[in-house]
Amino acid sequence: MPVEIDAEKCGKIVNCPGEGLCIKVCEQGAIVNENDDPVLIPENCDDCDLCIQSCPNQAISKKS
Amino acid sequence: MVSVEREGEQKRSLSYRKNKCVGCGICSDICPTEALRLGPLVPIARGLVDMDYVNVDKNKCALCGLCASSCPFDAFQFKIDDINIKENELYPKWKSSAEIDEEKCLYCKACETACPRDAITVSRELPDRNKLVSGEIEINEDTCIYCGICDEMCPADAITMNNENIQDPEIIVDKDKCVYCLICKRACPVDAIKAACRSCSYGVYEINPEDADTKGYTFIDNETCVKCGWCQEICPVDAAIVSKPFEGEAIFAEEAECKGESCHACMDICPCNAVSLEDGKSVINPDFCILCGACAKACPQNRIIIKRDKINLENVRSKSWQKQIDKLAGVESK
């Protein structure tokens, strides 16, 4: 099951302490920058969860 | 850079040394006041962000020095009245080490190439080539037409032809380089070269065994060495002796799924180059693993479990410290 990005916690990439770290850390290209928001491409997500543990805003999670 | 410093009866200071830290998180596991917090390990290991693996909370740190004593990589420097506790006999000391037996070392540089930390330097002095072969060579300058064929063909780069001055060209044989292979003599179109190899004409040429020795020195920089054991495994003559900081094993939680190529967080953070992917799943080579636990901390699936049976930290005099240090033993995952 792909991850979910909480837009409210995330804010804009321009304000991200990791400068869009989720996008950089995902080598599957499952998160892309669209108008300064990280947007998930679910079919690319391999559930590795690297983005979850890397996000400085704890904005990425999975439904349990 | 000093992370925390206070003056009371004693002046105590703790400094984090980023270049030595591997992100294993032993310090944060062991800190009695929970003053050490880990940064985003995988992005740091991949160089995506310029941050420290460990952050010290000045308000929580009690300046006890346990982190500095228990870090196998010496990434924290703890000083009391400006004296490093490494010099203080009251504090624990790691028994781990890496050494080269100079009597056995052949200076082959295998360890230098294999070392994942670039901690080994081999400097070697090769034997004199002209002591290992013997012969005669002479170019008759009256016959020589300075065609340069010998210069181009010489496999040892021993012949140099210089015809910049077309009126007065010269041809020079470097006898330190010549191995008397006679290629030049055979290729010369005007038979201007006289050469003979003494080794060939009289069978095996007797040489002084000492003249054939490569001399040198192999240096392990203990500041960067992590005692991973690569040098010990790769050395063809068993000249490298490594004693690791922990004994035990790294095992995989069966219920957790390795994401392999998608993730490879463990490979990226491992300071020992001990992790590889086999059939899309990460495997740890125990020969090179030092059980530091960086991979277990980095794995987003919590798949890696570090079981430390023995901690080679000696001279732990305080019972409360021993209790904290014992937390590193046994099963630990995240």
- Min distance B41 CA to chain A CA atoms (Å): 8
Evaluate if residue B19 carries a pLDDT over 50: yes
Task: Please choose, from the candidates A42, A48, A36, the residue with its C-alpha nearest in 3D space to the C-alpha of residue A7.
Answer: A36
Q: Find the residue in A nearest to B265 (Cα).
A: A50
Q: Do B265 and A56 touch (CB under 8 A)?
A: no
Q: Looking at beta carbons, which residues of chain B come within 8 Å of A53?
A: 40, 42, 300
Number of domains into which chain A is organized: 1
List Cβ<8 Å contacts ≥24 apart for B195-204: B195/B135, B195/B136, B195/B137, B195/B138, B196/B135, B196/B136, B197/B133, B197/B134, B197/B135, B198/B133, B198/B134, B198/B135, B198/B136, B199/B133, B199/B134, B199/B135
In a domain, A64, yes or no: no
Asked if B265 has any chain A CB less than 8 Å from its own CB, the reply is yes
- What are the domain boundaries of chain B? 2-96+244-332, 129-210
Q: Looking at beta carbons, which residues of chain B come within 8 Å of A56?
A: 40
Evaluate if residue B333 carries a pLDDT over 50: no
- Min distance A25 CA to chain B CA atoms (Å): 6
pTM of the model: 0.84
Q: Do A50 and B300 touch (CB under 8 A)?
A: yes
**Pick from B49, B263, B301: which is nearest to A21 by CB?**
B49
Evaluate if residue B330 carries a pLDDT over 90: no
- Min distance B266 CA to chain A CA atoms (Å): 11
CATH number of B129-210: 3.30.70.20
Evaluate if residue B306 carries a pLDDT over 90: yes
Predicted local confidence at residue A2, as pLDDT:
86
Evaluate if residue A20 carries a pLDDT over 60: yes
Which tokens belong to B303?
């798949």
Q: Looking at beta carbons, which residues of chain A come within 8 Å of B40?
A: 18, 21, 53-54, 56
Evaluate if residue B203 carries a pLDDT over 60: no
- Min distance B264 CA to chain A CA atoms (Å): 9
Spatial separation of the C-alpha atoms in residues B174 and B180, rounded to whole Å: 11
Using CB atoms and an 8 Å cut-off, which of residues 2-41 of chain B contact chain A?
40
According to DSSP, the β-strands at B11-16 and B76-80 are antiparallel
Q: Assign domain B2-96+244-332 one CATH number from 3.30.70.20, 3.40.50.1010, 3.40.50.2300, 3.30.2310.20.
A: 3.30.70.20
Asked if A56 has any chain B CB less than 8 Å from its own CB, the reply is yes
pLDDT band at B204 (very low <50, low <70, confident <90, very high): low
**Pick from A19, A46, A50: which is nearest to B42 by CB?**
A50
pLDDT band at B129 (very low <50, low <70, confident <90, very high): confident
Lowest mean pLDDT among B118-132, B148-162, B188-202, B223-237: B188-202
In a domain, A48, yes or no: yes
- Min distance A49 CA to chain B CA atoms (Å): 6
Alpha helices in B171-220 (DSSP H): 183-187, 198-201
The CATH number assigned to the domain holding A48 equals 3.30.70.20
Contact present, B332 and B305 (Cβ < 8 Å): yes
Give me the mean pLDDT over the B21-47 stretch: 95
**Could you tell me the residue range of the domain that residue A22 belongs to?**
4-58
ipTM attached to this prediction: 0.91
Asked if A29 has any chain B CB less than 8 Å from its own CB, the reply is no
Domains B2-96+244-332 and B129-210 share a fold: yes
- Rounded to the nearest integer, the mean pLDDT of chain B is 93
In a domain, A35, yes or no: yes
In a domain, A63, yes or no: no
How does B17-54 read in b/e, with b if 16+ C-beta sit within 10 Å? beeebbbbbbbbbbbeeebbebebbbbbbbebbebbbb
Distance, first Cα to last Cα, chain A:
10
**Pick from B46, B48, B262: which is nearest to A48 by CB?**
B262
Task: Please choose, from the candidates B333, B288, B285, the residue with its C-alpha nearest in 3D space to the C-alpha of residue B307.
Answer: B333
